[in-house]
Amino acid sequence: MRILMTTAYFSPSLGGMETVAECLANEFVALGHEVVVATSTAEDDGIQRPFTVLRAPSLLALIQESLRADAVLQSQISLRLGLPSLLLGRPTVIAHHMWTPRTGPGAFVGRIKHALLHLADNVAVSQAMARSLSVPCSVIPNPYQAEIFDGMSHAGPKRNLVFLGRLIDGKGLGVLLQALSLLAARDIHPTLTVIGRGPAEDLYRQQVRQLGLAAQVEFSGPLRGAALRDRLTAHQLLIVPSVWDEPFGIVVLEGLACGLIPVVSDAGGLPEAVGNCGPVIPRGNAIALADSINDLLTIEKPRRKFTESRTAHLAAHTPSTIAASYLKALERRTN
């Protein structure tokens, strides 16, 4: 089968949609399918891949690839990348990775997109995402890069906490810093590594200094691939304290695969991403986060409970498992 995949974001851009697109394209090719990825990310990363990547394609190129394809997989509905295949009636599956608003900012375009969803079969990356859509859809969770995040153990002493994500308000790093301040008042001083970059970095660095946490907190900048894996495995707990609704949360799977226990907020699809492998706390609640961190660092029983189902949970999110589910969805659309 010749598969056209469309994704607004792709490597060298960093994020969940980029990870999923790369994983699925590689798996489809490994299973004998021909894949073309069309992306709005114009910058070339110089990586040789077993599939074709069309960067910032013209409308004519999108029409030609849509007509050549046996099936189209859209990673998030895009009027620019996905409209040609929908209007041409090509067998299309839309995988919803981000919220498509019908009210508030972006609602005008969002309502247009919702009106087009009936032209395709629809898949959501979480139950939370599925509930936000105006059409029935199935749920296929996101995969993680199992060939990179392979459970390698760290031989040396481990730091306590790690935060991985873009440094913006919605990711909740400020809540985590407040929790560290609360723990410091109890004379508990866990270390924290912050992996990522973003527009709020200077504000967070200032908050660290104001709270007297400079000796505990290290900002490492963005990491990817094996370097990210190695840094993650040098920690005990992954903290994902988002205050906005995360569609899913691949970072949770990456942390689990590196042997960490994730602590996540009850935001969007994060509870589904962690399953029974880590505690879920109320978003924005620094006290609950501090209590959870303290329990996991000092008490063996909760750690043991959360690690028991890790293997089965990760097995359900490998690229091969998720790619097989998407292929079934594409084959149903072509029949």
Residues 6+ apart with CB under 8 A from 156: 234
Q: Please state the domain count of the chain.
A: 2
Please give the average pLDDT of every successive group of 10 residues along the chain, which has 335 residues: 97 92 97 98 95 97 97 96 95 97 93 95 97 95 93 74 96 98 97 97 98 97 93 96 96 96 98 97 98 94 88 96 98 92
- DSSP letter string, 17-66: HHHHHHHHHHHHHHTT-EEEEEES---------SSEEEES--HHHHHHHH
Question: Are residues 198 and 134 part of one domain?
Answer: no
- CATH number for the domain that contains residue 110: 3.40.50.2000
Q: What is the pLDDT of residue 152?
A: 64
Question: Are residues 113 and 37 part of one domain?
Answer: yes
pTM, entire model: 0.93
**Domain ranges, residue 77:** 2-143+318-334
3-state helix, strand, coil in the chain (%, to 5): 40, 20, 40
Question: Are residues 212 and 264 part of one domain?
Answer: yes
Question: Are residues 274 and 169 part of one domain?
Answer: yes
Residue 203 in domain = yes
